[in-house]
Amino acid sequence: MKTLEQQVARRLTRLYIMALTAVALLSIFGQFLIQNTLKGTLNDAHVVNIAGRQRMLSQRISKVSILLANPSKQVFHSEIYQKEMSDILPLWRQSHEGLRDGLLVDSTEKYIVKNSVVIQSIFTKLDTFYKKIYDNALKIKQNHQDTTALKIVLENEGAFLKAMNQIVYQYDLEAQERVRRIRNIELILFLFTLSILILEGFLIFKPLAKYIKTVIWKLMQSENELQDRNQEFRATNQKLVETQQDLVKTTQEKYELIRKEDKIRSAALIEGQESERKRIALDLHDGIGQMLMALKLDSERLKTLPFSNEKQRSVFAEHQKLINETIEATRATAFDLMPSVLSDFGLSAALRILIEQTAKSSELKIDFKDVGTHERLSSTIEVNLYRIVQEALNNAIKHAQTTQIDVVLKVGKPRIMLSITDFGKGFDHKKKQKNNAGNGLKNIETRVSLLNGKCQILSKINAGTTIIVTLMH
């Protein structure tokens, strides 16, 4: 019969081997899970990167389509833009189909794309816009003068970008969810390992201590171990709280960064629009305007020639009238795009002419008051304030059903205040914001935000609308 020492040693050895085996298995399983997760995370990062690149490529396709359809650029750069379109379209199509079908092929590497039901539904909607952009971009590549195809490309670009943003956001959200799930599994494995270690203490070392020391010493030792565990738990809890605070801070910083990026993007877009308006206005004035004036002069010379009958004289008179109307329409269009008086004489003079023309065309009473100093402002402030008044007048004429509009400009130091008031039917501003309606008002608010100013929109049903813009300069 085995002695007590042998029985205890055998029992302790068996339990110790079982405990070590369990710890080893948990460690191996945890390592396998971590490595597999890291691989999946790399795949997720690549997928998010490709999805983000799709947005950039769609914008580039639209830009190249515009350049190909622009006669002034085709002479020198047509082959370059056509080659660029030939390079972009296959890559855009390959990436789109890879993301949609769940398998991306990048040189020799293959990446599995995990598309959830939500992402698949977005891709279903996205395919419509993608196909229209792709098919019509091919048409533009083959026929640069296909303005219908260009219009379709530009009309579908915004919807494509919006859907693609949703997909990128959903990919990122689902990747984070998978990481959180793995973290939870890791925590469970850690708890299992910790439980096994605790069991080792109670089932192996405690009996060994009992064999060596007295019951009193064992109780004191157990109490000390318990205190140590509590201290570790408190320290772990403190670390968790600090980690949570760091995550909140990181989220806030990320939101602020996204907001700043959107502001920069909006500023660049508006600046590009103004530059394009200025260029088109200059082309109308120096190109078509000069040709029309030359045509008018040639027509004036024909007056000296005799007409065989009164009908010819009448047709000639109609011809001259049509030329004069075309010249006036061209001047009005050029002024609407970018009035030269704005850069030559400043904001106040440009607003007076704008208000006079608007009042004449709309048959409304529009009053303009210019209060304060008449110093020149920066070109950015002058252009944006001019566009704000232009947008506000158009909104009032289209929607307010008013007979009078008041515009007040106060330029002081360091504050500039602009107000546009109509006395029409008004609207519920909160309800309009909730329904995400009113692009005109959004354009005004965006321009004020880019100027770091404050915009107030005060409106009530049947009580008119007042827009107040305040800037510091």
Three-state DSSP state, 365:
strand
Three-state DSSP state, 404:
strand
| pLDDT value of position 77 | 65
CB contact burial 78-98 (16+ within 10 A = b; e otherwise): eeebbebbeebbeebeebbeb
Q: Would you say the C-alpha torsion 137, 139, 143, 145 has a positive or negative sign?
A: negative
Predicted confidence (pLDDT) per residue in 147-203, tens digit:
888 888 888 888 888 988 898 888 888 888 888 887 887 788 788 778 877 777 777
Predicted confidence (pLDDT) per residue in 297-348, tens digit:
666 666 666 766 777 777 777 777 777 767 666 666 656 666 767 777 888 8
Domains of the chain by start residue, with CATH: 4-212 (1.20.1330), 344-472 (3.30.565.10)
Which position has the higher pLDDT, 423 or 25? 423
Nearest to 206 by CA among 222, 192, 193, 189: 222
Residue 91: pLDDT over 60: yes
Strand stretches in 203-342, DSSP E? none
Residue 37: pLDDT over 70: no
Distance CA 364, CA 278 (A): 28
Max distance between CA atoms of the chain, in angstroms, equals 145
- Eight-state DSSP code of residue 110: E
Distance CA 216, CA 415 (A): 82
Q: Where are the alpha helices (DSSP H) in 206-346?
A: 206-212, 215-283, 289-301, 310-337, 340-345
- Residue partners of 44: CB distance under 8 A and separation at least 6: 114, 171, 174, 175, 178
Helix%, strand%, coil% for the chain, nearest 5? 80, 10, 10
* Mean pLDDT over the full length of the chain: 78
| pLDDT value of position 405 | 92
Predicted confidence (pLDDT) per residue in 430-449, tens digit:
776 656 555 678 888 888 88
Residue 75: pLDDT over 50: no
Q: Are 438 and 445 in contact (CB under 8 A)?
A: no
Percentage of residues in the chain with pLDDT exceeding 70? 73
Model pTM above 0.85? no
Predicted confidence (pLDDT) per residue in 286-304, tens digit:
566 566 666 666 666 666 6
- Residue partners of 114: CB distance under 8 A and separation at least 6: 44, 47, 102, 174
pLDDT band at 4, cuts 50/70/90? Answer: very low
Q: How many CB atoms lie within 10 A of CB 144?
A: 21
